[in-house]
Structure formats: C-alpha cells, structure tokens
Amino acid sequence: MTSTPDKQAVTAAYLGCAATAGYAVLKVAWALGSTLGVSDRAVFEEFLDRLGGPLVALWATVLLALLAGAILLSLVQPWGLRVPRRLRASLAWLGAIMAPLGLMRLGQTIAAAIAGDPFPMLTPAIYISVYVCFTVLGLTFAITAWRTRNPQAADRLATQGAPS
C-alpha cells in the first residue's frame, strides 16, 4: 500500500489530536480533583496557586490543547479553508517547536529517573507521558505543515475531506 502526502498529512493530524487529547484528559482530571500521578498534593496545590490557580494552570492548558488540535485539523479538513492557509501553516510551524522542547524534557526526565533523583510533585510516569505528548504534537505539527505546504494540494485535501 502506497502512502501519499495527503494520507500522511491526515494521519499526522489525527495522531497529533490524539496526543493533545491525552494531555488534555490529564489536565481535566486534575482540574476536577483527581490526584492521578501526583506524588505530593501539597506541593502540587502550591504549584497551581503560584500559576494563578486551577483556572489558569489547568483549564487554560486544556483550551490550548483543543486549539492545537483545531489547528492540525484545519490543515486537512474542509472547514479549515475558512481560515487563510498562511495563518494555519504558520501556527502549525510555530507549534512544531514542541518537538525539540518535549524531547529535551523527556530526556532530562528519563535521565533523572535512572539516576534516582527525586520527583517532588508528580511521578516520573506523568512527566514522561506529558513530554511524549509534547514531542508527538510537535512532530505532527511539522509533518502536517510540511505535507500541506503546496496550496493546491492542501486545498484539494481539504475539499475532499479526510480519506476513509
């Protein structure tokens, strides 16, 4: 089976949406009171307070995750044609910065876990899952932006919709 740039763009966009969903679900769980992956609740709550409370620290990041998914989908779905292509592509390329940042933090977290360094607020697994989401999101932003860089191909893909 041959993979075309159109199919690769759609696959990357959906994979990026899955990464944002994984991140957003964790943030929503915390905002609703879950302590999933929290190793010290007092330190976690102090951290949230320093960032402006749960409204800013958690719900705002959920909205950003939803925005990231919308940007990705706008590059491969017909409704995305309502937004200028250059704006959509620019936002996607800007979002691609998440890949090296996520990869760098992922490496630091894994190295700290191997070294036995303490994690005062969250478990290492939570840090790793968040940074994997960041890395995947950044890579999918770059892939989707690259695969939809030709305006005619991007418009064709968007008017045809995602392949089944």
Q: What is the mean pLDDT of residues 61-72?
A: 97
pTM of the prediction?
0.87
DSSP state of 79: G
| Other Cβ atoms within 10 Å of 148 Cβ, number | 29
Range of the domain at 55: 5-160
**Is pLDDT at 19 greater than 60 in this prediction?**
yes
User: Does residue 110 come out as left (phi exceeding 0), alpha (psi in the -120 to 50 range) or beta?
Assistant: alpha
Count of domains forming the chain: 1
